[in-house]
Structure 1
Amino acid sequence: MTLRRRFALVAAAAVAVAIVLASGIVYVVVRGELRGRLDDELRAAGGTESNVRIALGDSPLGGGAARGGPDAPGAPGGPDQPRVARPDGPGAPGTLHQRVIVPKDALGLETAYVAVIGADGERLWPLPGSGAADLPVTAATRAVASGGRDAFFSDATVDGTAVRLYTTATARFPGFALQIARPLTEIDRTLDRLALVLVFVSAGGIALAAALGRVVARTALRPVGRLTSAVEHVGETGDLSRRIDVAAHRPGADEDEIGRLARSFNVMLSALEASVGRQRQLVADASHELRTPLTSLRTNIEVLALPATLPEEERRRLLADVVEQLDELAGLVGDLVELAREEEPEASVEDVRLDQLVAAAVERARRRAGAPLFAAELVPCLARGVPSRLDRAVTNLLDNAAKWSPPGAEVAVALELDEAERRAFLSVRDHGPGIAAEDLPHVFERFYRAPGARGMPGSGLGLAIVRQVAELHGGGASAAVAPGGGALLRLELPAEAACAEDLPAGAATPPRSAPPVASPPAPPAPAASGARDAGGGTSTRAG
Structure 2
Amino acid sequence: MRGAPVRWWRRRTLHDRLSLLVTAAVAAAVLTVAGIAFAAVSQIQRQQLHSQLDADARSIAAQPELWREGPPPFGPGGRHDLRYRRDIGPRWQVLGRDGTVVAGSTNGLPVTKGARRVAAGQAPALRERVLLDGHSFLMLTVPADRGGGAVQVAVDQTPANRTLAVFGLLMAAGCVLGIGGAAALGRTVARAGLVPVQQLTKAVEHVAVTMDLNRPVPIHGVDEIARLGQSVNTMLAAIDAARQSQRTLVEDAGHELRTPLTSIRTNIELLLAVERQPELAHRLPPDERAKLLRDLDAQVAELAALTTELVELAREETTREPAEDVELTDVVDAATDRVRIRVPSVTFTTDLRPCTVHGRPGELERMLVNVLDNAAKWSPPGGVVHTELGVDAGGWARLVVSDTGPGIDAEDLPHVFDRFYRAPAARGMPGSGLGLAIVAQTAAQHGGTVTAGPHDPTGTTVTIRLPVTGSADPGAGPT
In the aligned structure 1, how far is the partner of 2:158 from the partner of 2:341?
Answer: 111
Classify the secondary structure of the residue corresponding to 1:244.
Answer: coil
Alignment of 1:56-95 (within 5 A): none
Q: Which of the numbers 190, 193, 199 marks the counterpart of 1:217?
A: 190
How far has the Cα of 1:36 moved from its partner? 0.8
Tell me whether 1:126 sits opposite 2:104 in the alignment: yes
Q: Is the 8 A contact 2:260 2:303 kept in 1?
A: yes
Classify the secondary structure of the residue corresponding to 1:173.
Answer: coil
Residue of structure 1 in register with 2:273 after alignment: 306
- The verdict on how the C-alpha distance between 1:110 and 1:76 changes in structure 2, with shifts beyond 3 A counting, is closer
Classify the secondary structure of the residue corresponding to 1:164.
Answer: strand
**One-letter amino acid of the structure 2 residue matched with residue 243 of structure 1:** P
Residue of structure 2 in register with 1:501 after alignment: none
Residue of structure 1 in register with 2:118 after alignment: 144
Q: Which of the numbers 395, 398, 422 marks the counterpart of 1:425?
A: 398
Tell me whether 1:244 sits opposite 2:217 in the alignment: yes
Q: Is the 8 A contact 1:42 1:166 kept in 2?
A: yes
Residue of structure 2 in register with 1:25 after alignment: 36
**One-letter amino acid of the structure 2 residue matched with residue 367 of structure 1:** P
In the aligned structure 1, how far is the partner of 2:432 from the partner of 2:208?
Answer: 31
- The verdict on how the C-alpha distance between 1:434 and 1:393 changes in structure 2, with shifts beyond 3 A counting, is farther
In the aligned structure 1, how far is the partner of 2:387 from the partner of 2:129?
Answer: 103
Classify the secondary structure of the residue corresponding to 2:273.
Answer: coil
How far has the Cα of 1:415 moved from its partner? 1.1
Alignment of 1:2-41 (within 5 A): 2-41=13-52
Residue of structure 2 in register with 1:510 after alignment: none
Q: Is the 8 A contact 1:8 1:210 kept in 2?
A: yes
Residue of structure 2 in register with 1:100 after alignment: none
Residue of structure 2 in register with 1:268 after alignment: 235
Q: Which of the numbers 340, 346, 352 marks the counterpart of 1:379?
A: 352
Tell me whether 1:356 sits opposite 2:333 in the alignment: yes
More helix by percentage? 2
With 381-390 and 31-40 compared, the bigger mean Cα shift is at 381-390
How far has the Cα of 1:48 moved from its partner? 1.0
Q: Which of the numbers 178, 190, 206 marks the counterpart of 1:233?
A: 206
How far has the Cα of 1:305 moved from its partner? 0.8
How far has the Cα of 1:171 moved from its partner? 2.6
Q: Is the 8 A contact 1:162 1:184 kept in 2?
A: yes
Q: Which of the numbers 290, 306, 326 marks the counterpart of 1:316?
A: 290
RMSD: 4.0
- The verdict on how the C-alpha distance between 1:218 and 1:491 changes in structure 2, with shifts beyond 3 A counting, is same
Alignment of 1:498-517 (within 5 A): none
In the aligned structure 1, how far is the partner of 2:17 from the partner of 2:309?
Answer: 52
How far has the Cα of 1:204 moved from its partner? 3.1
Alignment of 1:111-510 (within 5 A): 111-118=89-96, 120-126=98-104, 132-174=106-148, 176-246=149-219, 249-250=220-221, 252-253=222-223, 256=224, 258-307=225-274, 308=278, 309=281, 310-339=284-313, 340=315, 342-343=318-319, 345-346=321-322, 351=327, 352-357=329-334, 359-360=336-337, 363-364=340-341, 366-367=343-344, 376=349, 378-381=351-354, 383=356, 388-401=362-375, 405=378, 413-418=386-391, 423-429=396-402, 431-434=407-410, 439=415, 443=417, 448-450=419-421, 461-467=434-440, 469-470=442-443, 476-482=448-454, 488-493=461-466
How many equivalent residue pairs?
434
In the aligned structure 2, how far is the partner of 1:11 from the partner of 1:154?
Answer: 46
Max Rg structure: 1
Residue identity (%): 35
**One-letter amino acid of the structure 2 residue matched with residue 12 of structure 1:** T
In the aligned structure 1, how far is the partner of 2:344 from the partner of 2:368?
Answer: 16
How far has the Cα of 1:181 moved from its partner? 1.8
**One-letter amino acid of the structure 2 residue matched with residue 10 of structure 1:** L
With 226-235 and 165-174 compared, the bigger mean Cα shift is at 165-174
Q: Which of the numbers 36, 54, 59 marks the counterpart of 1:43?
A: 54
How far has the Cα of 1:197 moved from its partner? 3.2
In the aligned structure 2, how far is the partner of 1:289 from the partner of 1:224?
Answer: 46
In the aligned structure 1, how far is the partner of 2:241 from the partner of 2:468?
Answer: 33
Question: For residues 452-495 of structure 1, what are the alpha-carbon distances to aligned partners after superposition, in whole Å with 9 as ceiling and x for unaligned?
Answer: 789787556433433454466x5523225448898643223467
In the aligned structure 2, how far is the partner of 1:227 from the partner of 1:365?
Answer: 57
Residue of structure 2 in register with 1:499 after alignment: none
How far has the Cα of 1:211 moved from its partner? 2.9
- The verdict on how the C-alpha distance between 1:476 and 1:81 changes in structure 2, with shifts beyond 3 A counting, is closer
**TM-score, normalisation: structure 1:** 0.68
Q: Is the 8 A contact 2:340 2:348 kept in 1?
A: no
Q: Is the 8 A contact 1:286 1:459 kept in 2?
A: no
